[in-house]
Structure 1
Amino acid sequence: MRSFTHRTAGKIALAGAAGATALLLTACGADDGKSGTDHGGAASTASAAPSATASASGGAAAAPGPFNDADVMFAQMMIPHHEQALEMARLADGRAQDPEVRKLVTAIERAQDPEIRKMRAWLAGWGRPESAGHGSGGGHGMAGMMSEQDMKSLAAAEGVAFDRRFAELMIAHHDGAVAMAKDEQRGGENPTATALADDVVRTQSAEVTALRKILDRL
């Protein structure tokens, strides 16, 4: 009786193993039928990557198409440049008096914060770091960046003095961004990156014109 029980249990175990193996082979066969074992795995990874990138960057997607070093440098340099512009804009809260200055501050915040998220998504999708050691605070290649003293002087000003100082500094800052965007227009390859460069040149050049008019009347 004891021998029968052992033999029966062994048969049941073997049957269970065979059934599991059959199910596994059936599943693998279904995947192979769709795209092949190797291609199926690659497709799965590729489809998951954009979603992960979009999630990490607040919904922005990686820039499609080819890219080159100019595209990468444009994003790596423009991110900290935009971040400093947002820092300057935040200082306007409670300090700016001129309605045109406050209007421009709002425009800068609405445009540049989403652009930062876009460029971070591009770099993630390209497999490149956000920073490549280009420096900050007016370092090499970072045209228009404010020094620490510039930022302190802006933070210390209020009313008309703030409006005037903000306009002066933001003109220089925007001029630097426009110069970097023009470099991207000339040397970039990725169409999404060059399109953003076009936007930067157009919008920030218009804002420089508006800031100069503000300075003329203050």
Structure 2
Amino acid sequence: MRNTRMSMVRRAGLTATAVAAALVLTACGGSSDSGSGGHDGHASASSSASSGAAAHNAQDVAFAQGMIPHHQQALEMAKLATGRASSAKVKDLASRIEKAQDPEIRTMSGWLKSWGRSVPSAMPGMPGMDHSAHSGMSGMMDSKDMAKLAKASGADFDTMFLTMMIEHHKGAVEMAGTEKAKGSYGPATSMADGIVTAQTAEITEMNKLLGKG
């Protein structure tokens, strides 16, 4: 009787162990499925983030394709100031314009490439560059304007540079304002906002240098 009772206890213990093992295996299986689901979720999040980063509209494309040559011309004007301006303040302004706009050109070029759109490639100052091709764009100088600026020096250059750059900046602010209102790509509308803020402040600064502020 005692042996029978021991045998029953032993069988009960083995059954409990088997049930526990089955529960562990089931839990592991659930964990594995959960982990797999987690990876799928991560992939979905990555896919969503990727599609979100590429979300743009025609205005965003127009902004980048228009602002690149616009910035390029500003850089050409700024480079001329290095050897022709007589005012240290004008030279400092020109340097700041270069430092701000050159990186923006590279950024916008990257956007266009990622969107599969053409990137304006003709850099101002290159042989054969026709400024008149973009003269219809707001604030852009034509080839005659640029030729006059390139021939000027000293105080005459300072006055011409500031006068032209004010108009140039006004054009950029106008273009950026359109992007802020109609663009859908976050980084582009953010850049546009920065352009409006920075170049509006520089317009005020240039007017003061011309004695108009």
TM over 0.5: yes
Aligned to 1:3: none
1:118 to 2:116 alignment: no
Q: How does 1:87-166 map to 2 (within 5 A)?
A: 87-131=76-120, 136-139=133-136, 142-166=137-161
CA contact (8 A) 1:65 1:191 kept: no
1:69 to 2:58 alignment: yes
Q: Could you report, residue by residue, the CA deviation over 1:106-160 in whole angstroms, capped at 9, with x for unpaired residues?
A: 11000000000000000001111114xxx83312xx1000011110111111111
Where does the alignment leave 5 or more consecutive residues of structure 2 unmatched? Answer: 1-35, 121-131
The one-letter amino acid paired with 1:127 is G
Task: Give the counterpart of 2:178 among 183, 187, 191.
Answer: 183
Aligned to 1:25: none
CA contact (8 A) 2:54 2:115 kept: no
TM superposition shift of 1:99: 1.3
Q: Could you report, residue by residue, the CA deviation over 1:26-74 in whole angstroms, capped at 9, with x for unpaired residues?
A: xxxxxxxx9xxxx9xxx9xx99xx9xxxxxxxxxxxx924100000000
TM-score of the superposition, structure 1-length normalised?
Answer: 0.67
Q: Could you report, residue by residue, the CA deviation over 1:57-100 in whole angstroms, capped at 9, with x for unpaired residues?
A: xxxxxx92410000000000000000000000111121111111
**Aligned counterparts of 1:168 and 1:107: Cα–Cα separation in 2:** 17
Look up the SS of the partner of 1:189 in the other structure: coil
After superposition, the CA RMSD in angstroms is 2.3
TM-score of the superposition, structure 2-length normalised?
Answer: 0.69
**Aligned counterparts of 1:154 and 1:128: Cα–Cα separation in 2:** 33
The one-letter amino acid paired with 1:148 is S
Look up the SS of the partner of 2:134 in the other structure: coil
**Aligned counterparts of 1:109 and 1:179: Cα–Cα separation in 2:** 20
CA contact (8 A) 1:79 1:119 kept: yes
CA contact (8 A) 2:138 2:174 kept: yes
Q: Give the length in aligned residue pairs.
A: 157
Task: Give the counterpart of 1:195 among 184, 190, 198.
Answer: 190
| Identical counterparts, % of pairs | 49
